[in-house]
A and B are shown apart, each in its own frame.
Chain A
Amino acid sequence: MNHLAAIRQILAQHGRLSVNVDTLNDDSDLYVAGLTSLATVGVMLALEDQFNIEFPESMLSRRTFASLDAIAEAVDELATPSSSKVPVGT
C-alpha cells in the first residue's frame, strides 16, 4: 500500500510547514521544512481519521514524522490488519 498522496495532503493542511509541501521529496526532512513536534499532533489526528488507525504511544516519536516516507511506513504498519500478521490457525 502506498498512501503518500493522501499523507502529502494532510501535511499541507495540518503540518504548518514553512515551505510548500509540493517542493518536498518523499525523503525530505520535515523538521527542516518547519514541522514542529506540536504540529505533529494535528498531523497525527488527521492520519488517524483518514486511515482509521491509532498511533500507539511508542510511535509518537520524532522519528515517525521525520519524512513523508517515514510517515507512510508508520501508516502502512498500523493499517495492516493485525489478523494478517497472525499465522493461520492461531
Chain B
Amino acid sequence: MNESETLPAGAPKPIFDRLVNEAHAIGKEVLAANAADVDRLARFPNESIDALRRARLLSAYVPKAFGGMGLNVVQIAKVCEVFGQYCGSSAMIYAMHKIQVACVVHHAQGSPYFQSYLRQLVDEQRLMASATTEMGVGGDLRSSICAVEVEGDSFRLTKKAPVISYGEAADDILITCRKSPNAPASEQVHVLVRRGDYTAEPLSTWDTLGFRGTCSTGFTVTSHGKAAQILPTPFADILAQTMHPFSHIVWSSLWSGIAIDALNQARAYVRTEARKTPGETPLNAIRLAEVDRVLQEMRNNVATFTHEYHDLLMHAPREALTSFGFSIRTNNLKLSASQLIVDIVGRAMLICGISGYRNDSKYSIARHLRDAYGAALMVNNDRIMKHNATMLLVHKEG
C-alpha cells in the first residue's frame, strides 16, 4: 500500500467535476425516480445499479492501470454523498460495493488472479457484496466460525450469514472465514466467491424500517473455487487498514447526502412559506438556519477524516492505519455521523410540519427519517463505543 502509484490517485478536477454533474443527473433521472417504489416494495434498485454500470461507476475506485476510473477515496466519498441525496438504498449499495473493491485494490493487487479479476470487474462492471457477520458470532467481524478448506489448488467454504446486503443481485461476494479448519476464530482470511461457484439458500427475509432496497437477506452460502481467490493479506490487516475506515467514510458520506436532501426539502418548504408573507422571514426559517449549521458540522467531520485517511493511505507507512488513535477517530466519525443524520432529518421534518410527516406529500421526509435510524445499528454504535472505551484506557492524545 506504500506504492502509491498502484493506488487510485484521483481524477483531475475538471474531469471529476463533470463526473459529479453526471452523478447528479443519474441521481435525478434514475435514483430519485425509483426511490419511492424501491422503498415501498423493499426491492433491489435494478434501474439505479444498471445506470451506474452504464456510467462505468462500479469500477470508479479501480486504478487506471487496470482500466478503472482511478478516483481516490475523497472523490468516492463525494460520489456517495451525491447518490445519498436521491435514494438511500441505491447509495448504500454503491458504497458497500466500493468497500469491497477497495479491499481488493489495497490488498490483493500483487496477485495475478486479482489483477485479472480487477480487469474483469472493469469490463463487466461486476457488483461485489460482502458476508462478514455470521450466525453464532453476531456482529463481531474479528471472529469466524466457518473455515475455508483448501485442498490442492481448490477451496470449499460454507458460511451461514445472517445478513448479505443485495446478496441475490451480487456478481461476487467477499466472505470472511477462518484460515483453516484448525485456525483460531480470530485468524481470518477474506475469500472472493464468484457467481456460478456458489449457491445461496435464504435464511431470512428483509422487511425493515429503512434502507429497504438493500435487500439485506441472510443466506447460507456454499461455495467452491480456486485457492488463488483467497486474498493474500490477513483479514485483520484488511479490516484495520481498509474495510473499517473506508466503510465509515462512505457510509457517513451517503448519510450526509440523505441529510442534505432532507434539508433541501425543508428549504423548499420554508421558501413557499416565505412567498405567502412577503417581506417577513418565516418562523421556521430560524429552524432551518439552526439545522444548516449542524449539517455543516457533519459534512466537515466527514471531510476532515476522509482527507486524513487519504493522506495516510498515500504517504504514511501501514502502521499508521493500525494505531489506536486512528481507529478511535474512525469510530468517532461513525458514532457522530450516525447520530447527526437522525438529528438533522428529524429537524427537517419539524420544519416541514405535517407536509414532512405525510407519505404522499412532495415535502415528505418519511423515507429519509426511516433510513436515518438505520445508521446507528449497521455495526451497532454500542459495540463501537465499547471498543473505543477499551482503547481509550491506554490511548493518549498526542
- List residues of chain A with CB under 8 Å of any chain B CB: 17-19, 31-38, 41, 44-45, 55-57, 60-63
Contacts and interface: CB of A to CB of B under 8 A. Distances in A.
B186 A18 contact: yes
B187 interface: yes
Instruction: Give the secondary structure class of B's interface.
Output: loop
A66 B398 CA distance: 24
Nearest to B320: A61
Instruction: Give the secondary structure class of A's interface.
Output: loop
A38 B391 contact: yes
Contact of A60 (B186, B187, B234, B395): B395
B184 A60 contact: no
A45 B184 contact: no
Contact of A38 (B319, B323, B390): B390
A19 B184 contact: yes
Nearest to B325: A57
Contact of A41 (B184, B187, B234, B390): B390
Contacts of A44: 394
B393 A57 contact: no
Nearest to B393: A41
Interface residues of B, number: 22
B24 interface: no
A41 B394 contact: yes
Given A17-B184, A37-B324, A57-B325, 7 more contacts: A18-B184, A31-B234, A33-B184, A36-B142, A41-B390, A57-B396, A63-B319
Contacts of A63: 319
B199 to A, nearest CB: 30
Sort A-B residue pairs by CB-CB distance and give the 8 closest, nearest first. Answer: A18-B184, A34-B184, A34-B186, A41-B390, A62-B322, A60-B324, A57-B396, A44-B394
A31 B183 CA distance: 11
A56 B325 CA distance: 12
Nearest to B322: A62
A41 to B, nearest CB: 5
Instruction: Choose among A56, A61, A63 the residue with the greatest number of B CB atoms under 10 Å from its CB.
Output: A61
A63 B237 CA distance: 12
Interface string B213-249: 0000000000000000000001010001000000000
A19 B184 CA distance: 8
12 contacts: A18-B185, A31-B234, A32-B187, A36-B142, A36-B236, A37-B240, A38-B390, A44-B394, A57-B325, A57-B396, A60-B324, A61-B322
A62 B184 contact: no
A19 B236 CA distance: 18
B387 interface: yes
B322 A57 contact: no
Given A18-B186, A19-B184, A57 B398 contact: yes
Interface of B: 142, 184-187, 234, 236, 240, 319, 322-325, 327, 387, 390-391, 393-396, 398
B319 A61 contact: yes
B394 A60 contact: yes
B318 to A, nearest CB: 9
A61 to B, nearest CB: 6
Contacts of B323: 57, 60-61
Nearest to B187: A32
A57 to B, nearest CB: 5
Contacts of A32: 184, 187
A84 B325 CA distance: 31
Contacts of A31: 186-187, 234, 236
Contacts of B186: 18, 31, 34-36
A55 B394 contact: yes
A18 B188 CA distance: 13
Nearest to A35: B186
Contacts of A36: 142, 186, 236
Instruction: Choose among B185, B234, B323, B327 the residue with the greatest number of A CB atoms under 10 Å from its CB.
Output: B323
Contacts of B393: 41, 45
B147 to A, nearest CB: 13
Contacts of A61: 319, 322-323
Nearest to A40: B394
Contacts of A45: 393-394
A88 B121 CA distance: 65
